[in-house]
Amino acid sequence: MENMVNLKINGKDVSVPAGTTILDAARKAGIRIPTLCYLRDINAIGACRVCVVEVKGARSLVASCVYPVAEGMEVTTNSKRVLSSRKTTVELLLSDHNQDCLHCVRSGNCELQTLSTEMGCESGKFSGETNKFDIDFSTPYLVRDNNKCILCRRCVAACKYYQGVSVIGANSRGFDTHIGCSFEKNLSEVDCVACGQCINVCPTGALREREEIDDVIAALNDPSKYVIFGTAPATRVGIGEEFGYPVGSNCQGKMVAAIKALGADEVFDVDFTADLTIMEEGTEFLNRVKEGGVLPMMTSCSPAWIKFVEHNYPELIPNLSTCKSPQQMFGAIVKTYYAEKIGKDPKDIVVVSVMPCTAKKFEKNRPEMAAAGVPDIDYVLTTRELARLIKKNGIMFNELEDAEYDLPLGIASGAGLIFGVTGGVMEAALRTVREILENKSYGKIDFTDVRGAKGIKEATYNIAGIDVKVAVASGLANARILCDQIKEGKSPYHFIEIMSCPGGCVNGGGQPIKTADVRNNTDYRALRTNAIYDTDEKMKLRKSHDNPIIKELYETYLGEPNGHKSHAILHTKYIARSKY
């Protein structure tokens, strides 16, 4: 039986388990205490002092996010002393903060801005010397502006605990303290994997994606260019949040309609090339099993994961599938097969992918990603960028009639759709590999053992008389555990799926940003994930190998999965990168 502690918060009796913090106890009592630095499980450091409260008998105010309750404790969260302290803290943060809110990408969704408004802060109350930092524009995927940083260290925690990468931390001391890389290197000079999880946890505009909105607008307004958009699985259950829809709303139809209203020539579904990925990756896995190839084979859909391996485990590159990601396959197919089909020069086609991921901006620039002699993908917009582009063009997203993807590359299966969640690639592969190996069609095709939010999941499936051991990991800190097993020769698995972001692409670094209050108290990842699975369950087409356009593509153009032509267009290679 749990040991319960009884206390009073603002005169209200509250009973909570021993070890509960005042912050959580107050929430149970229906009282919200503001925070800035706190993130549940990864950043309980009491550094920002915004969450301070008064505890009877204590000489000073205490940080509620780290202060445990005690029997008989009396807490006040809204006394004059507390409110004055919080206001002063926020005003001091504002005194060394670039307050150019009108031009900030986070205006309207900035936690510092929100608290300042709530507390009635005066922006110029404290004046004096301020820090001036150069903005880091060194990468194609992320911009770091320490002039807007409040030293909450949430980005540091995400990089360390979610991803196990730890390329950023607090440099210098006192007034000169700032978040940076070792030896003050730019992000392009360290082994940052481009995942964007630091952006998602930042409370201000200190971290943001490298925008390509203006480039896309220019392409849409160029009459010599044929502009094709492709949207990733997870974008449809994210974009609605940017327009006021509840978390977990599937806004696929409105998203497609909005892109068409922007002036795109065609809008396709990258779920289609997720199906294509299964055909190539599944066949590659079967060939490795039959021919004694390198095992375990690891998926290659997540570009941040690939970069992580290249930096940290180059000896495991042979374990990676040689398949391009669905994004890159999409661009490659559009500029080869589809370009021929519609009689267009690949140089005149502009492919814009809409992704839940910042690492896709890095991936598209890899020199080997050019099946038609030009880049497979021209521009990558995050889910957030697409929403900003829609708003910039005055398109009333909520008022749009749902639209369908264009044909033929708009037809996809539920297997392609579930690529957006952790375990989805594995499940999609198992749906196809089992039926191909056993030459049999199954009614029940759900592999629930690889579903769920657990960081590492494992299962064994008997397929055609072979016990196939599989593992699924999301978050690179979990991937590191599996990589170390392989490196030490202790891995029992045949096939491993890795997604860089915890929970998979639904929680990608380019998805709508949730405040710390939402992140700490709402399972928004599960809501987005459930929307994906609910849609998959209702689809008539749920297996990649049953996709009629995939069949036509192989019959008329590619030949066979893992054949000579498909290897030239759909496969790639990876390189060992420096461990800085």
CB 45 within 8 A of CB 155: no
CB 162 within 8 A of CB 197: yes
Does residue 281 have an active-site annotation?
yes
Q: Which of 302, 321, 474, 566 is catalytic?
A: 321
Domain 214-570 has CATH 3.30.1200.10: no
Where on the phi/psi map is residue 343: left (φ > 0), alpha (ψ -120 to 50), or beta? Answer: left
- What pLDDT shows up at residue 1? 60
CB 276 within 8 A of CB 557: no
54: helix, strand or coil: strand
* Fold matches, 4-78 and 214-570: no
Beta carbons within 8 Å of 164's beta carbon, 6+ residues apart: 475, 476, 477, 479, 480
Q: Which of 111, 212, 284, 310 is catalytic?
A: 284
CA distances 456 to 388, 418, 433, 465, 558, Å, are 35, 18, 22, 25, 35
- What pLDDT shows up at residue 417? 97
DSSP codes, 69-107: P-TT-EEESS-HHHHHHHHHHHHHHHHTS---GGG-TTT
Q: Which of 37, 101, 195, 301 is catalytic?
A: 301
CB 389 within 8 A of CB 266: no
Q: How far apart are the first and last CA of the chain?
A: 50
Beta strand 4-9 with 12-17: parallel, antiparallel or unpaired? antiparallel
Does residue 284 have an active-site annotation?
yes
Q: Which of 212, 241, 280, 363 is catalytic?
A: 363
Does residue 368 have an active-site annotation?
yes
CB 450 within 8 A of CB 472: yes
Does residue 301 have an active-site annotation?
yes
Beta carbons within 8 Å of 57's beta carbon, 6+ residues apart: none
Does residue 209 have an active-site annotation?
no
CB 273 within 8 A of CB 326: yes
Q: Which residue has the tokens 């299964």?
A: 278
Does residue 555 have an active-site annotation?
no
Q: Which of 48, 192, 357, 505 is catalytic?
A: 505
DSSP codes, 286-299: HHHHHHT--SSEE-
Beta carbons within 8 Å of 440's beta carbon, 6+ residues apart: none
Name the residue type at position 431: R
CA distances 236 to 118, 245, 254, 390, 474, Å, are 32, 12, 9, 14, 20
Residue 71 burial (C-beta neighbours within 10 Å; 0-12, 13-18, 19+) = exposed
Which H or E run includes 456?
strand 456-463
Q: d(Cα 324, Cα 318) in Å, to the nearest integer?
A: 14
- What pLDDT shows up at residue 125? 85
Q: Where are the domains of the chain?
A: 4-78, 100-209, 214-570
Q: d(Cα 254, Cα 325) in Å, to the nearest integer?
A: 26
Q: d(Cα 458, Cα 440) in Å, to the nearest integer?
A: 25
What are the two backbone dihedrals, phi and then psi, of residue 351, each rounded to the nearest 5 degrees? -105, 120
- What pLDDT shows up at residue 580? 62
Q: Which residue has the tokens 């198992």?
A: 430
**Residue 15 neighbours by CB distance under 10 Å:** 13
Per-residue pLDDT of the chain (580 residues; tens, 9 = 90+): 679 999 999 999 999 999 999 999 999 999 999 999 999 999 999 999 999 999 999 999 999 999 999 999 999 999 999 999 999 999 999 999 999 899 999 999 999 999 999 999 987 888 888 999 999 999 999 999 999 999 999 999 999 999 999 999 999 999 999 999 999 999 999 999 999 999 999 999 999 999 999 999 999 999 999 999 999 999 999 999 999 999 999 999 999 999 999 999 999 999 999 999 999 999 999 999 999 999 999 999 999 999 999 999 999 999 999 999 999 999 999 999 999 999 999 999 999 999 999 999 999 999 999 999 999 999 999 999 999 999 999 999 999 999 999 999 999 999 999 999 999 999 999 999 999 989 889 988 899 999 999 999 999 999 988 899 999 999 999 999 999 999 999 999 999 999 999 999 999 999 999 999 999 999 999 999 999 999 999 999 999 999 999 999 999 999 999 999 999 999 999 999 987 6
Name the residue type at position 232: A
64: helix, strand or coil: coil
CB 6 within 8 A of CB 13: yes
Structure-block tokens of residue 551: 């069949």
CB 503 within 8 A of CB 422: yes
Q: Which of 87, 160, 324, 360 is catalytic?
A: 360
Q: Which of 242, 281, 310, 385 is catalytic?
A: 281
Q: Which residue has the tokens 């002092």?
A: 49
Beta strand 12-17 with 169-171: parallel, antiparallel or unpaired? unpaired
Fold of 100-209: Alpha-Beta Plaits (3.30.70)
CB 318 within 8 A of CB 294: yes
What CATH number is given for 4-78 in this structure? 3.10.20.740
